[in-house]
Amino acid sequence: MVGAGALDLVYVPGWVSNIEAMWEEPALARFLRRLTSFSRLILFDKRGTGLSDRVPNAELPTLEQRMDDVRAVMDAVGSERAALFGHSEGGNMCVLFAATYPERTAALVTLGVYAKRLQSDDYPWAPTLQQRERDIHELERGWGDVDLGYYAPSRIGDERFARDLATYFRRSASPGAAAALMRMNSQIDVRDVLPTVQVSALVMHRTGDHDVNVEEGRYIAARIPGAKFVELPGDDHIFWASDVDGVVDEIEEFLTGARPMREPDRVLATVLFTDIVGSTERAAALGDRRWRAVLESHDALARREIDRHRGRHVKATGDGVLATFDGPARAVRSAVAIRDAVQALGVDVRAGVHTGECELIGDDDIGGIAVHTGARVAALAAPGQVLVSSTVKDLVAGSGIEFEDRGEHELKGVPGQWRIYAVR
């Protein structure tokens, strides 16, 4: 259980899971952290999967037994009433629990859920028994190898995601257990339960989901009294493959009544790059030990001047620094101050400054074309020189900073011609 929100929220994962490995996948961890921002999040692995004890494949739990497990988990953490969120196969159990224990269910939320896993005349969207047996056979032959084109089309070509997903599945269940679960899930049918759900319900589904057709989500929402149906854009059945924020936004608004204010992912900032001139030659002349001492002193002086000019030290770049500022004049003055300060160490730096829209990456990094532009501007500078883009020069008009025109340049990887100026 994590989080300290006023609302208890039980997350019932799909097919297989591992509540420890969940936090190692960045997008899934972000999803969970956002849930903890407004809830007390209760996580568990179903019997025979993840960190739960292994059980013989013939004894894998039924939906009824899984309901008992959820109730036991809630009792163990002292939760008398909780909202339930289930994805894929996890949603079937949530539907059954909500209908059976309405007094313990604050709300029902599902994503990518089916009511029935095998095709019939009145439920034409599910796979046939033959298709299901074929899928199980392929799973047993290559457990963990995920067809991204089917389950997560937005990640096609992302080898790291495919590798991490395969590892996650293999840590979640053995091949035999995974196949046995697929066979058991093939028998799921909660169609008759849907009209008996009396708690408020949110049914979400991605429009292009290949594994569970969007019509199945519409079918479920139409049969749960008063249910809200939200159709999300995209094709991914593995929901953390894309736009986890869009999913959490819907969940948070439904459960709390307020749509969250998203943290901005782009911001206008002035980027400063510095680089020690001839660092390779100096390192060879001084030796590793003495050169490391010079670098440490350089980094300390650079940080001091960045802080003094109200900047943010983003990272060291090996023989330089990357920093951002909320004002271009402060960035230019910081660059000049760094250049002057490190001369006492016997090193020269070059610096480049540019203002543009930066992408916020995680909690402590930035990216985007503005960052590339700043780096290319710095690369043009001579030893001891501070160069700026025309954007910076125009923005600091009236600051007293003087410039010399250095003409137009092509910046590698950056479109267009750029007029560059040197700080006097």
DSSP secondary structure string, 362-408? Answer: TTTEEESHHHHHHHHHHHHPPTT-EEEEHHHHHHTTTSS--EEEEEE
Q: Which residue shows structure tokens 């590798």?
A: 163
Q: How far apart are CA 165 and CA 98, in angstroms?
A: 30
Containing H/E element for 284?
Answer: helix 279-286
Label residue 40 by pLDDT band (50, 70, 90).
very high
- Per-residue pLDDT averaged across 92-96, rounded? 93
Query: Does 159 map to a domain?
Result: yes
- Measured CA to CA, the distance from residue 220 to residue 254 in angstroms comes to 17
Which residue type sits at 351? A
DSSP state of 120: B
Q: Evaluate if residue 172 carries a pLDDT over 70.
A: yes
What's the average model confidence in pLDDT over 334-362? 92
- For residue 57, pLDDT over 70 is answered with no
pLDDT bracket for residue 396 (50, 70, 90): very high
Question: What's the CA gap between 291 and 345, in Å, rounded?
Answer: 11
- Give the residue-averaged pLDDT of 254-282: 84
Asked whether residue 61 carries a pLDDT value surpassing 80, the answer given is no
Average pLDDT over residues 322-338: 95
Among residues 231, 256, 281, which one ends one of the domains? 256
Helices marked H in 37-124: 63-76, 89-100
Q: How many domains does the chain have?
A: 2
**Residue 181, domain CATH:** 3.40.50.1820
Element (H, E) at 312: strand 312-316
> Cα 140 to chain center, whole Å?
30
pLDDT at 59 over 80: no
Give the pLDDT mean for 231-235: 94
If you average pLDDT over residues 42-53, what whole number do you get? 85
Tell me what pLDDT residue 146 has.
82
Residue 155 lies in a domain: yes
- What percentage of the chain exceeds 70 in pLDDT? 98
What's the whole-number average pLDDT of the chain?
91
Q: Does residue 247 fall inside a structural domain?
A: yes
User: CATH number, domain at 392?
Assistant: 3.30.70.1230
Strand 320-325, strand 312-316: pairing: antiparallel
Q: Give mean pLDDT, residues 8-23.
A: 92
Stretch 270-276: mean pLDDT = 95
Question: DSSP H helical segments within 142-174, as ranges?
Answer: 148-151, 159-172
Listed in sequence order, the residues at least 6 apart from 402 whose beta carbon sits closer than 8 Å to its beta carbon are 423, 424
**Could you tell me whether strands 349-361 and 266-276 are parallel, antiparallel, or unpaired per DSSP bridges?**
antiparallel
The predicted structure's pLDDT at residue 298: 93
Same domain, 214 and 358: no
What is the pTM (predicted TM-score) of this model?
Answer: 0.65
Q: Are residues 271 and 363 in the same domain?
A: yes
Predicted confidence band at 395 (pLDDT cuts at 50, 70, 90)? Answer: very high
- Same-domain pairing of 362 and 285: yes
Integer Cα distance of 254 and 208 in angstroms: 23
Look at residue 230 and tell me if it is in a domain.
yes
- Average pLDDT estimate for 125-150: 88
Cα dist from 287 to 91, 186, 192, 278, 292, whole Å: 62, 66, 77, 14, 8
Closest to 314 in 3D by CA, of 355, 348, 272, 347: 272
- pLDDT of residue 84 exceeding 90, the answer is yes
pLDDT surpassing 80 at residue 249: yes
Ranges of H-type helices in 129-276: 129-141, 148-151, 159-172, 175-185, 214-223, 244-256
Among the residue ranges 280-294, 384-398, 403-417, the one predicted with the least confidence is 280-294
Q: Is 203 among the domain residues?
A: yes
**Mean pLDDT for the stretch of residues 342-366:** 88
Question: Which of 256, 286, 320 corresponds to the end of one domain?
Answer: 256
For residue 126, give both structure tokens: 């599910």
pLDDT score of 261: 65
Residue 1 lies in a domain: no
Provide the pLDDT confidence category of residue 182 given band limits of 50, 70 and 90. confident
What local confidence, expressed as pLDDT, does residue 147 receive?
87
pLDDT band at 21 (very low <50, low <70, confident <90, very high): very high
pLDDT of residue 370: 92
247 and 276 in a common domain: no
The confidence score (pLDDT) of residue 263 equals 60
Distance of CA 64 to the CA centre of its chain: 33
Whether 86 has a pLDDT exceeding 90, the answer reads yes
Shared domain for 274 and 198, answered yes or no, is no
Please report the beta strands in 15-81, taking only residues with DSSP state E, as ranges in sequence order: 39-43
List the single range of 222-226, 259-263, 357-361, 414-418 with lowest mean pLDDT: 259-263
Specify the pLDDT at position 264. Answer: 62
188 and 298 assigned to the same domain? no
* Angle separating helix axes 26-36 and 244-256, nearest 10 degrees: 10
328 pLDDT band, cuts 50/70/90, is: very high
Length of the chain: 424
Does residue 215 have a pLDDT over 80? yes
Count CA within 13 A, CB hemisphere, residue 109: 24
Task: Note the Cα 219 to chain centre separation in Å.
Answer: 30
Averaged pLDDT for residues 255-262: 79
Arithmetic mean of pLDDT, 139-167: 87
Confidence band, pLDDT 50/70/90 cuts, at residue 279 = confident
Domain limits for position 14? 7-256
Of 256, 282, 307, which residue is a domain's last? 256
Provide the pLDDT for residue 360: 82
pLDDT of residue 337 exceeding 90, the answer is yes
Tell whether 156 and 206 lie within a shared domain.
yes
Confidence of residue 288 (pLDDT cuts 50, 70, 90): confident
Range 166-180 average pLDDT: 89
| Token output for 15 | 């097919």
Residue 408: per-residue pLDDT: 94
d(CA 27, CA 7): 23
Identify whether residues 295 and 316 lie together within a single domain. yes
Asked if residue 55 has pLDDT above 90, the reply is no
| Residue 63 DSSP SS3 | helix
Residue 2 lies in a domain: no
pLDDT of residue 258: 81
